[in-house]
């Protein structure tokens, strides 16, 4: 049996306990709970034009929960964000 993470089955904080409902940070966190998202999707589909800033805000809010928003370069200005922890 291979353990990939100590927090694989950890309960993630509820969005409303971290962010005001309806804010860009709350919307982005809810989207990240569904799975990875690219900066292009954040801008085009979610209408959040400062994807880097919002990802940083979510990252800061998750630090006390030992979670992170991982950014991975895909190609030519395209980045993918995902939750870790």
Helix (H) or strand (E) run with residue 39 in it:
helix 39-44
pTM score: 0.86
Q: What is the DSSP letter of 52?
A: H
Give pLDDT, residue 11.
79
CATH of domain 20-84: 1.10.10.10
Give pLDDT, residue 10.
63
Give pLDDT, residue 85.
85
- Residue 3 CA to residue 8 CA, distance in Å, equals 9
Query: Can you say whether residue 37 is alpha, beta or left, with left for phi > 0 and alpha for psi between -120 and 50 degrees?
Result: beta
Give pLDDT, residue 3.
45
- Average pLDDT along the chain, 85 residues, taken 10 residues at a time: 50 91 97 97 98 98 96 97 94
């Amino acid at each position: 049996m291979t353990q990939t993470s100590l927090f694989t089955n950890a309960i993630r904080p509820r969005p409303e306990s971290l962010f005001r409902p309806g804010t860009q940070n709350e919307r982005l966190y809810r989207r990240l709970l569904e799975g990875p998202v690219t900066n292009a999707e954040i801008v085009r589909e979610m209408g959040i034009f400062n994807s880097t800033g919002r990802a940083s805000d979510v990252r800061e809010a998750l630090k006390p929960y030992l979670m992170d928003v991982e950014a991975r370069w895909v190609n030519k200005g395209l980045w993918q964000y995902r939750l870790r922890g």
